[in-house]
Amino acid sequence: MAEDALFSIFMDGLFIKNFLLIQFLGLCSFVGVTKDIKSAAGMSGAVVFVMAMASTVSYLLYTYILVPTKMEFLDLISFIVVIAALVQLVEFVVRKNIPSLYRSLGIYLPLITTNCAVLGAVILNENAGYNFAQSVVFGTSAGLGYTIVMLMMAGIRERSTFVNVPSAIRGLPQAFFIALMLSMAFVNYFWVIPI
């Protein structure tokens, strides 16, 4: 039962509750850093790390510090502190080891702090009442779902620069059309609309 539940939570995060295309969280990075696969992959790696770590740390924080002291109302602010610290950590590491990626991500790397997808994952964990393993699995799979969509989007956008489209649609409008079609595909395949 337990393993089965973990697997279904994993698939939830990956497809059924996909953060970008079904819950529409973290969209600014979705449009902003998907111009090429390399920076999309770098951003996704950072988000996966931050989401997984934030889920872990905030679960421990919530269950072992906030709940026993009856300070549950501090959840938002303490989660934000945790996420901000993790983002800083990622920024240090990326800046040290992959300076070219640091430059191509630009403002979007520090913006993971305010990336609603990360806070969303943490809050959803809390609301669903997941235990430790479930929280970690959901956080990680949400990050991986983000990665899948980011890579698909970046791949399509890289190739679509060679397509002849009217100049009015070139650039960001084209990205929005691509996002629309990707989202329709995701909704139809992984999240059947009840009629």
Q: In whole angstroms, give the CA distance from residue 189 to residue 186.
A: 5
Nearest CB to other proteins, comparing residues 60 and 128: 60
**Euclidean distance between CA atoms 18 and 41, whole angstroms:** 17
At closest approach, how far in Å is the CB of 70 from other proteins? 8
Q: How far is the CB of 193 from other proteins (least distance, A)?
A: 39
Q: Does 76 bind other proteins (CB under 8 A)?
A: no
Exactly one of 66, 137, 142, 144 binds other proteins (CB under 8 A); that residue is: 66
Q: How far is CA 83 from CA 16, 58, 86, 90, 145, in A?
A: 24, 9, 5, 10, 19
187, 81 contact by CB (below 8 A): no
Instruction: Decide if residue 78 touches other proteins (CB under 8 A).
Output: yes
Instruction: Kindly give the residue spans of alpha helices, DSSP state H, lying in the chain.
Output: 2-11, 27-32, 37-61, 75-97, 99-105, 116-128, 132-160, 172-190
Asked if 86 contacts 119 with a C-beta cutoff of 8 angstroms, the reply is no
How far is residue 54's CA from residue 59's CA, in Å, rounded to a whole number?
Answer: 8
Rounded to whole angstroms, the Cα distance separating 184 from 171 reads 21
Q: Which of 8, 88, 100, 161 binds other proteins (CB under 8 A)?
A: 88
- Cα–Cα distance list, 26 to 18, 30, 112, 133, 192 (Å): 11, 7, 9, 24, 22
Nearer to other proteins, 79 or 146 (CB): 79
64 in contact with other proteins (CB under 8 A)? no
Rule CB under 8 A: say whether 159 interacts with other proteins: no
Candidate residues 1, 2, 77, 163; the one interacting with other proteins per rule CB under 8 A: 77
Given candidates 6, 85, 111, 116, which one binds other proteins under the rule CB under 8 A?
A: 85
Distance in Å, CB of 132 to other proteins, minimum: 19
Minimum distance from residue 16 beta carbon to other proteins (Å): 33
Quick check: 103 binds other proteins (CB under 8 A)? yes
Residues of the shown chain interacting with other proteins in the complex, contacts defined by CB under 8 A = 61, 65-66, 69, 71, 74, 77-78, 81-82, 84-85, 88-89, 92-93, 95-96, 99, 103, 106
